[in-house]
Amino acid sequence: MIILGIETSCDETGVAVYDTARPGAEGLRAQALYSQVALHAEYGGVVPELASRDHVRKLLPLVRQTLAEAGLAPSDLDGVAYTAGPGLVGALLVGAGAARALAWALDVPAIGVHHMEGHLLAPLLEAPDLEPPFVALLVSGGHSQLVMVEGIGRYRLLGETLDDAAGEAFDKTAKLMGLPYPGGPQLAALAEHGTPGRFKFSRPMTDRPGLDFSFSGLKTQVLLAWRDSDQSDQTKADIARGFEDAVVDTLAIKCERALDATGCDTLVVAGGVGANKRLRAKLQAMAEKRGGRVAFPRPALCTDNGAMIAFAGALRLEAGQHDDASVRVAPRWDMASLPAVA
């Protein structure tokens, strides 16, 4: 099957074509991504109405571009997958409306994909030998979750954030230190020049049992350290390094606990924060020490993208699953409610 994937959950318009006849990453025939960072920069965050309108402007040109790069015509498509949630309702409706209209015109099936399932399955695109069961760490701007994956569509939540997600904490911490939007990547880049250990922040909720996360208190610690410092460029880098080390250590500790609790030796990491170099190195070292395995998607597939939606949708469409002709989205959507794929 040749599947068109559309991602419009927030501030990035992603389109991709995936061919199930080709193994793994070879099936990714073409993809395109447009980021709205410049549009939202002056506001210091995503403005939902502006995001929706920009998706309207960019989506169809990106679909045409992606099909052309894949050497395909619309009539070559066997199905359409689109992000149906969670996300910004207006942005989701743009992708869902376009996908449903295209599927109706071509008389092919369409399916709404759970955004976080797209992230979760992205590592399988480049590691087709990776099979459940495994533990997944999903870390993005809006989510920090540990999930037990017993099969595709068979997910059990092990732990989640009680307040700010890891990516959200990165962005908010960067903003309070005066870094430009989007702050998370800026803070991670600044931390590369920081002195390890000069600022030591707590590893939240690691002093008690459990697999839940909390990063709001860590953000407050950084704020107090920043206010009491000389606020020089080096101090800014040192605080950034201390913050990043705290987040990375916390995530690693919780991941190891989750592996112990489930008896798994395989960890999958996905979502925007999964591109963080220090997190990747820490989890890789942990997996090697345990004699296990950790899998990451390439950094370009950690952020929101059409490839993960095309791939996740293809797995479900191949299994015979599809939606009716209604245009429906779910700004909030529990991943545990998804049907299993045989």
Nearest of 301, 193, 218, 210 to residue 261 by alpha carbon: 210
**Does the annotation flag 313 for ligand binding?**
no
**Does the annotation flag 142 for ligand binding?**
yes
**Does the annotation flag 79 for ligand binding?**
no
**Does the annotation flag 276 for ligand binding?**
yes
**Does the annotation flag 265 for ligand binding?**
no
**Does the annotation flag 46 for ligand binding?**
no
**Does the annotation flag 245 for ligand binding?**
no
**Does the annotation flag 138 for ligand binding?**
yes
**Does the annotation flag 14 for ligand binding?**
no
Which segments are annotated as binding site for substrate?
Answer: 138-142, 171, 184, 276
Task: Enumerate the known binding-site residues for Fe cation.
Answer: 115, 119, 304
Bind-site residues:
115, 119, 138-142, 171, 184, 276, 304
